[in-house]
Structure 1
Amino acid sequence: MTVYHWIILFLAQSSRTIHGQRFTKNPANLTVTEGNKARLGCSIEGLSEPEIVWMKDGEKLYSNDQMYITLEHNHWETFHSVKSVQQHDAGKYWCEVEFRGSTISSEPAWIIVEGVPHFILEPQDVATLPGESFNLTCAAVGPPDPVEVLWWLGGVPRDSVTSSPSVFHVKGVNNSIKYYCEAKNARGISVSRTGTVHIKVLPAAPNSVRVAHMVENNVTLAWSPGFNGHSNLSACTIQMVKNSRRKVKCPDKRVKVPPFQRILSGLSCYSNYSVRVGCENEVGTSPFSGWLDFQTPEAVPSAAPRNLTFDITEQQLSLNWATLEDEELQGKLMAYKVQWNLGGEGQDALLFKDNVAHLSGGGRFFNTTFQVSACTVAGCGPWSQPVLVMPASAVSAQMQRGHMWVGLLLALLVATMVGLLLTVLVHRRGKETQFGSVFKSPVTESTVSFIAARSFNRACPDFPESNLDNLGINDDLKAKLRDVLIPERLLTLGHMLGKGEFGSVREAFLKMEDSTIHKVAVKVLKTDINSSCDIEQCLKEAAYMKDFHHPNVIPLIGVSLHRRPQRRLPVPMVILPFMKHGDLHTFLLMSRLGDQPFTVSLQMLVQFMLDIARGMEYLSHRSIIHRDLAARNCMLSENLTWIALESLADNVYTTQSDVWAFGVTMWEIMARGQTPYPGVENSEIYEYLIKGERLKQPPDCRDDIYEIMHSCWSPVPKCRPSFQHLINQLEGLWASLSPRSSGMKEALLYVNMESDVGEHGAEALGQCQDRFRSAMPWQCVGIEEDEKDWLMVSSGAALAIGGDYRYIIGPSCNSAEEDDAGRQGNFMDDLQQEFRDEEYEDTVINV
């Protein structure tokens, strides 16, 4: 529009009034081939400056280049153009003008787009059971019509062509298959998206099992579903075990999903639990997830201390009471709270750490009542029954009165019994005759037989059975072991299963309370026990094992004390479950060198490693150091699961040192029981390792497995992987070896490989990033500069000059005073472990 036109419009608007408005031209219907140009126009009369708006299917069309043409005064025309028509441009169009609150609309027109068919219903992914029939649907429209549909299934076209919409009936398939459809009209052919027919399978185990919320004895358990097997998950089963002195299995809980969480109520406070989850779809139930261990919070004690007694003198009042059971305490004891009342007035409460209280000036507490309660971090429990403190004379008088009443009751009872007896005698006396008494037996004399409960021999004195009270060990250790002490007479020792510097392991039979006999293994500790300190050190191991509750850590059955002639102190015996298949080292040797060699699959070997890592992760989580991890100390149960036979440390040792030993154990497994460091003398191993040399890759050992074990041998302990990281690596490795994984090869072609690395992968080794090949240096990010000197610059490089020597010490034992200071971890601990491995080899070979 020119400047002249604007001037004319301005003069006209200022000089005349507008009357009557109407559309003089309406848009016309158009049929356009896809890709061509389309143009619609409309004209309105009666407005000086109209704002004409184009509408499509009820929505306003916005355009930056809309043009107005003046036909005459107050008569305007405008157009809507589409340069390249596509299917989405098809629809209903019209013009609108607003004037003084009213809307004037033109007649509508239609743009019809002709082209190849476009799909209004495309194939989607479906899932079905093997051999089960199902329907597939596909729909496409023109114009131009008609539209015909041809189905492709598994890359093969079906014979018949049907009109759109088309439903294809499939009688059933047994494997995953791809499908799509072709739509054809006079303009050409369109191809739909490709859909997949999945076969429904069992779901995968849930993952990320976690405690989302915890309040007192209520725990909210949450988990993430695994692969659903192409079928919606309907329910999940929660299995839970309470880890007390003995594992107690709780009833299974079956919950509908989603949501994937459940509140577990009614749990015991301050108790250890293990839980796992398995889910189900219409095919069946998934494997269970790994066990999740958690502990419920502490609570106020549920019971009051019992047996509150006192002992009073003029100088001191002593109070004593019984300790609570763990189930009653419901937490860690913080203190006992003692309150007392004198003359009706309450006094300030006192706190005591032990179950005894000593108060000076006993005379001032006469006629005072005392009560006691146990306290945890959650608060104090109920009060005990009040006890009144009285002088000894008053107590004696009260006791005498009590004795008097007891004497009277006893006298009355005796008199009653004598009366009854006399009555019976008189009654029987009346039945006597001249031929004798009725008391005479009419039959021959009875024979009495008995079995001696125990025999004695003066030549061989009988030793009293040992107990914990006469060993001279501390009270805490006695309390921990008292409920697992088994009398020696219930054990029958059999032949020896193995022997080492710690003592020997013997087969044995244990008689239970119900008279059943169980086969067990008895660890008879070394006999050079000369003091209470020696026996206390031996029994500490059993005290630790008492609280072990893990499928890959051997549980403790009990402790027994073997009494020896002419010796004051007995020999401790630790009673453990009998492992049918013996130790892992012998098992591996027999697979190669036995009379009937057998093949152990790579998947089973990785399973051994995974079981060991899970057991070690459990121990490290409880701040327990194994010290002697090796294949010979890995026992195989009925189902070939590995279980750790524990030996606690006496000298400086760390969890990182256990990781080093785990790498050596992996090497033993892959080498099928071969001796580590072949060709290297014991005295040379130290120099061999300090130069950067490591165990060579065993024959037939995959590179990724060797990389894992090699990462355990970093010279800097903090750069070694954690057991949890090793578990993650081995679980992935085990899954890749599973027979089911081969059936997923086709599905892997469609996995999106552009996603970010997961958070577990990003963690890796925290700040430590090891290089796994022996020809490469270890690298550790974020360590101190003086620690870097210990990283090897090449396989055979000498020590860096000026390095930090705290990672290496001489092969000597540390004293007890150095124990706490030496917990920082050192490289020589690993070397000492290797020496211990070598020292035991002769015994293992002779098994």
Structure 2
Amino acid sequence: GSLELGGRAGDSPALPPPPQGAQQLLRKVWHRLRGALRMGRVPLAWCLALCCWGCVAPKGAQAETDPFVGSPRNITGARGLMGTLRCELQVQGEPPEVTWLRDGQVLELADSTQTQVPLGEDGQDDWKVVSQLRISSLQLSDAGWYQCAVVLGGKTFVSQPGFVGLEGLPYFLQEPEDRTVAANTPFNLSCRAQGPPEPVDLLWLQDAVPLTRAMSHGPQQTLRVPGLNKTSSFSCEAHNARGVTTSRTATITVLPQRPRDLHLVSRQPTELEVAWTPGLSGIYPLTHCTLQAVLSDDGVGVWLGEPDPPEEPVTLQASVPPHRLRLGSLRPHTPYHIRVACTSSQGPSPWTHWLPVETPEGVPLGPPENVSAMRNGSQALVRWQEPRAPLQGTLLGYRLAYRGQDTPEVLMDIG
């Protein structure tokens, strides 16, 4: 059969103005007409008319036509999904650089690749351009509307949008952490999760047993525990329409409470006896208590949280009960700081504050040196020097004793 385009032989063809994309359309028509012409099926006048139509088509016709023939598809998946978005376009001339947009904003660090394939025949400069954007691990921040953009002839063209959505099992933003707590002391645990889909409900478990929902409070789902008497484990489950996710399991170790009422019971020049009241330790009995003593120094604070002494303390252990300890081999008339902590099978309690104590004075460890006497009639002048042995206190004075051949001993206190 022959291709009938309308009009009479010999008449100049009356063609409408070239539509958008006229040059690309003319090429396709020309290739078909060329084959038909060789077979003598198309009048030469029509071929000339089509050629003239292509010549008068605006040079910017291609730039005014949307070049995109393929736009990104919608993707909805779970967190961690790997996916690829694809744009395809056909252009004439030098292939443009494809830019990816998310929610209208340029993706500066997009993991994209671009492939260019020539399509032209008989020297025609047509190209197919394919750009692919790779999402290696889908996260909530990746969700949004994606488009491709190119600039042709000074004009920007944007593809149809494709939506990337996140929907799957809940994802934990905060999970309970391991910690130590004193026996019978209130504390809080936090757990927070999100979808989509929302809403996400949390269920707390203690030692794998669900707790009542009334124990959780606030947007971060804080669990308020009034106290424990034994080491326990806690976790939380996040529920949404897609299923359940379980958090890590946190171990809460119960330690003895801080001892209290550390005080001095008795003191000697080289000994101090101290006692204290132990704190609660839950179901775990105390195995021993540890006492530390250090010479007082300006660097030792008497309040909790103040710095430890610069010197290594003397450390002593006491079996309990009784909660009492005698410290020996101390220096007389010397200030010390002491503190105590008690230990169970789960670990040690916090230390008490540093308690300042002081040993009393002792007697001098040696007599005065170089004693001499000079008699002058009924008087005698006695001289001596301070003892070289430790005084074990503050020197207050001397005591002088003398006696005659037939008289008893006389004692005199000399300041």
Q: TM-score, normalised by structure 1?
A: 0.23
Structure having the higher Rg: 2
Higher relative contact order (CA 8 A, sep 6+): 2
Structure number with the higher helix fraction is 1
Structure number with the higher strand fraction is 2
